[in-house]
Amino acid sequence: MVWVYSNAPESRNPESAEKMNAKEDFLRSGVMTNTDRHDYGEAISFGPFTLFPAERRLERSGSFVQIGSRALDILIALIQNAGQVVERRMLMSHAWRNIVVDESNLRVNIAGLRKALGDGEDGARYIKNVQGIGYCFVGQLTRERIVAESSSLFAEPSPRVHSGDFAPGSACPQGRDEVLRTLASDLSRHRLISIVGPGGIGKTTVAIALAKRLSGVFPSEIHVADLSELAHGDTVALTLARLLGLDDLHHIPVACIANYLCTRRALIILDNCEHVIDEVTSLTTQILSVSSATYFVLTSREALRVKYEHVCRLPALEVPPGPEVISIEHAHTYPAVQVFIQRALEAGARFPQTSKSYAAISEMCRELEGVALAIELAAARVATFGLAGTMTLLGTRSRLQWQGCRNAPARHRSLAASIGWSYALLSDEERCAFRRLSSFEQPATLDAVLAAVANGTNGTGDLSNAIDVVEGLVAKHMLHIQPGPDDLPRYRLAASERIYAREQLNQPALDKRSIVQLNGVQRICI
């Protein structure tokens, strides 16, 4: 999926007096308006769905439907040729421009699209497979022209958002005010900032909130791209080129991007970089070396480790200290409690407003270590199991399987999916060490951790290799550090990761052909 939060770029020929040049550039970003006539768009409806092709938005009964950018390309192509069979190679050419991909990529995206549309459920049929040829859209369509009026020839560019996760309150997520202020300040001194942390900690939420907060600082353009669905054969450079509207120039994407950005004050946020970190590193360093007005903010589970990178290690949401009892008013001041209560109420939970209730909520927030995703998933269970029942279930493996929002990215629909995404990106030695370290119930000294890793990874007791493995796990936020009573660091797995790691001890060993499901795209884990 590509999310766009973008103000329209300035005209590429600013000194030209011809309105057609300006009009061309504004049309590229979809924000051109005209006083002499209406600006028309199109809404295409089928069943409970409405597609807005120009805005690249799909809605179901007025609610945003989150699907990947490839799937959306395929849907638009099929609807544009409704009733006709579109050959597989044509669909692949449309969705993967000038990129050679295996046909399985098309099948995966068609399957995901059918699932999002509920194709085949309750008699609904939208996409027909014509064996050996391609696919055909068979749903009944209704087309409607959308009219928007404006009072000026070229309206001031306004932020455009293409994502279901941009909720009205997302500009100020709970407990992140200080982080956002710091990031905004840091951008005045650093042009490459990486927001790093474990899965589910809230990196994407903070990055999107930062984009909104800085819309006035970067009036020319702000772009946010989610890289999580990049499949084999895709490149970060091609994705960014398409995001900037440079589809016709992608044969040399990095040079084209650099040329486009060299005179623009732009903020580019690349979200979910951990699985394409080498490509992101190459792209950002090349762009920054030639474009002095471009700023990058990245989110990743590990830092790039390059010169000039400024790393923001995103902390967990603050939780009440325990186990002493605190007042309801005091509990309400902690962001973790705020998130828990908000999500529980949204899920239909009702519980007495008593000190006992808030003590239980505080205990669960501590158990979940302030991880936003884990707190939201647990809070959603309260409507079914109550506070006491949910707290009991936290001690079991069921916490890993609790399902979140249906329209959330696949890696955020459960704790197992979130941890599994990170686990799949570890090396074989790191996975082995991660599993072995689940035997430590309490934070362990470095000596104890190194001994466990050295004796378990290859049985040779190679201490230098064990140091590299431990450093890798810490860098990827799969092993956490906390101060010990003797001022020496202690190492531990978070409770949820420990449960997940112990489950992996009973699984067959992963080999180089192990297939991991990464957010709907099959990738080979090497």
Q: What is the pLDDT of residues 207-224, one digit of tens each?
A: 999 998 888 788 668 898
**Selection from 53, 58, 60 nearest residue 68 by Cα:** 58
Output 97 or 190, whichever has higher pLDDT.
190
Output 79 or 156, whichever has higher pLDDT.
79
Output 159 or 446, whichever has higher pLDDT.
446
Q: Is 486 exposed, middle or buried (0-12, 13-18, 19+ CB in 10 A)?
A: exposed
Note the pLDDT of residue 253: 81
Average confidence (pLDDT) over 267-285: 93
Question: Residue with structure tokens 């992996």?
Answer: 504
Note the pLDDT of residue 146: 64
- Residue 43 pLDDT greater than 60, yes or no: yes
pLDDT band at 246 (very low <50, low <70, confident <90, very high): confident
- Residue 283 pLDDT greater than 50, yes or no: yes
Range of weakest confidence among 183-192, 256-265, 487-496:
256-265
**425-524 topology per CATH:** Arc Repressor Mutant, subunit A (1.10.10)
What is the C-alpha to C-alpha distance for residues 239 and 246, in angstroms, rounded to an integer? 10
- Residue 509 pLDDT greater than 60, yes or no: no
Average confidence (pLDDT) over 348-375: 94
What is the C-alpha to C-alpha distance for residues 417 and 424, in angstroms, rounded to an integer? 10
376-423 pLDDT, tens per residue?
A: 999 999 999 999 999 999 988 889 999 988 888 888 889 999 999 999
Q: Round the average pLDDT of the chain to a whole number and report it.
A: 80
51-76 pLDDT, tens per residue?
A: 988 777 888 887 778 787 788 889 99
pTM for the whole structure: 0.66
Three-state SS for 520? coil
Domain 39-144 CATH assignment equals 3.40.630.10:
no
- Residue 308 Rama label (left phi>0; alpha psi -120 to 50; beta): left
323 preceded by cis ω (within 30°)? yes
For 300, 302, 407, 413, 466, the CA distances from 275, given in Å and listed in that order, are 9, 10, 22, 19, 23
Query: Residue 221 contacts by C-beta under 8 Å, 6 or more apart in sequence?
Result: 6, 7, 8, 9, 157, 264, 266, 267
In the numeric block, which tokens belong to residue 219? 């009036």
**Cβ-contact 452, 479 below 8 angstroms:** no
In the numeric block, which tokens belong to residue 478? 């799969």
Range of weakest confidence among 205-214, 229-238, 468-477, 483-492:
229-238
**Selection from 430, 407, 416, 414 nearest residue 477 by Cα:** 430
Helices (H) and strands (E) in the chain, counts: 19, 19
- Residue 265 pLDDT greater than 50, yes or no: yes
What is the C-alpha to C-alpha distance for residues 303 and 287, in angstroms, rounded to an integer? 18
Range of weakest confidence among 5-14, 24-33, 275-284, 461-470:
24-33
pLDDT band at 468 (very low <50, low <70, confident <90, very high): very high
For 1, 239, 415, 419, the CA distances from 410, given in Å and listed in that order, are 12, 20, 10, 12
Average confidence (pLDDT) over 259-265: 82
Overall CATH class of domain 160-313: alpha beta
In the numeric block, which tokens belong to residue 440? 């430590």
